């Protein structure tokens, strides 16, 4: 286990809920609009990409593809801060929004996205590889996007990538679903579950589930847990038999041993979203995996203070990308 560049916040910033909540409270809103691109998918649906405005499409600079967490977007502080940090180091970046998470909140098809959905990211990376054959491409995934990225890095697609970084990923979904049902973490559960239920209800009202009686008549407003929502909505909507089948097949930890390219995994030991089973044993990884578990950081926090609040995580990620890029030279 790596202890390089350990995150050590001031004592008053160490409580995990302070770390988790603080980014949304202290960081300004994103000050740049970005270059938006609608990306057509083969099933007739679409997703939206947002490029950092300093990205240069005709350059040979390294390119980083970012994948956000559940109901995240380019407006999530961990996304735009990392994109800004990359730009300062001469690295281009683009964030792929999962279906319904970009500027357009309702996608065209009944289906949405889930923790093991590598189809859309695969399509984007293949397209970018064809578009920019001479660029090196790195990937960074946060939370749900990180769990997905672990699985993607175990496939042949990883061969066209230079590296990956995975942050605060729920690598054991059942463990995390139970964890977020406890104590103060239930506040986060409500925050994340509410927009999922709202989007599902809008699709119901638009008749998008008319061919599926089970989903068309479902009342999601009464649901209070991810376990129930994933069992009644996420699993059947995306081809899983039930929530246990979904959580088993989509959990990223089982793919760590098959990872094919250098992959950094960053966890905080006090993450209020993640259950204990997300931590892999040494024999569940391979030499391509660099695992860091920091005592503090919360979920997507890693905030410190020195004359001002700042986020430690983007610097760690950019350093990783820079190191892996240098190794290619």
Active-site residue flag, 114? no
Q: Could you say which of 73, 93, 136, 143 is catalytic?
A: 143
Give the integer Cα–Cα distance in Å for 53 and 10: 34
Q: Which residues touch 156 (CB under 8 Å, ≥6 apart)?
A: 260
- 97 forms bridges with which residues in the sheet? 48
Give the integer Cα–Cα distance in Å for 286 and 63: 25
Q: Could you say which of 92, 120, 270, 271 is catalytic?
A: 271
Active-site residue flag, 92? no
Active-site residue flag, 281? no
**Both tokens of residue 38?**
């609608």
Q: Could you say which of 68, 97, 294, 299 is catalytic?
A: 299
Q: Indicate which residues carry an active-site annotation.
A: 143, 271, 299
């Amino acid at each position: 286990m790596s202890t390089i560049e350990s995150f050590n916040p001031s004592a008053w910033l160490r409580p995990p809920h302070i770390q988790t909540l603080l980014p949304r409270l202290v960081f300004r809103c994103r000050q740049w609009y970005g270059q938006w691109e609608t990306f057509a998918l083969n099933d007739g649906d679409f997703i939206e990409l947002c490029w950092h405005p300093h990205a240069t499409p005709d350059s040979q600079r390294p390119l980083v593809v970012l994948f956000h967490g559940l109901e995240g977007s380019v407006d999530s502080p961990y996304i735009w801060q990392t994109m800004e940090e990359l730009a300062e180091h001469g690295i281009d970046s683009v964030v792929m929004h999962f279906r319904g998470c970009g500027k357009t909140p309702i996608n065209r098809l009944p289906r949405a996205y889930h923790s093991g959905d590598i189809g859309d990211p695969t399509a984007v990376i293949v397209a970018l590889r064809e578009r920019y054959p001479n660029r090196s491409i790195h990937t960074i995934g946060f939370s749900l996007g990180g769990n997905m990225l672990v699985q993607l890095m175990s496939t042949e697609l990883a061969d066209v990538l230079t590296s990956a970084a995975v942050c605060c990923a729920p690598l054991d979904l059942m463990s995390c679903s139970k964890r977020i049902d406890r104590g103060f973490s239930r506040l986060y559960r409500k925050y994340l579950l509410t927009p999922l239920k709202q989007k599902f209800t809008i699709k119901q009202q638009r008749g998008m589930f008319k061919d599926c009686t089970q989903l068309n008549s479902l009342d999601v407003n009464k649901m209070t847990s991810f376990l129930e929502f994933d069992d009644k909505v996420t699993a059947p909507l995306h081809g899983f038999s039930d929530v246990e089948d979904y959580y088993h097949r989509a959990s990223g930890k089982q793919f760590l041993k098959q990872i094919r390219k250098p992959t950094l995994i960053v966890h905080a030991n006090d993450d209020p979203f993640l259950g204990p089973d997300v931590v892999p044993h040494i024999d569940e990884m391979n030499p391509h995996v660099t695992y860091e578990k920091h005592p503090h950081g919360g979920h997507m926090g890693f905030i410190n203070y020195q004359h001002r609040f700042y986020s430690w995580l983007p610097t760690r990620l950019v350093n990783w990308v820079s190191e892996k890029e240098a190794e290619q030279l």
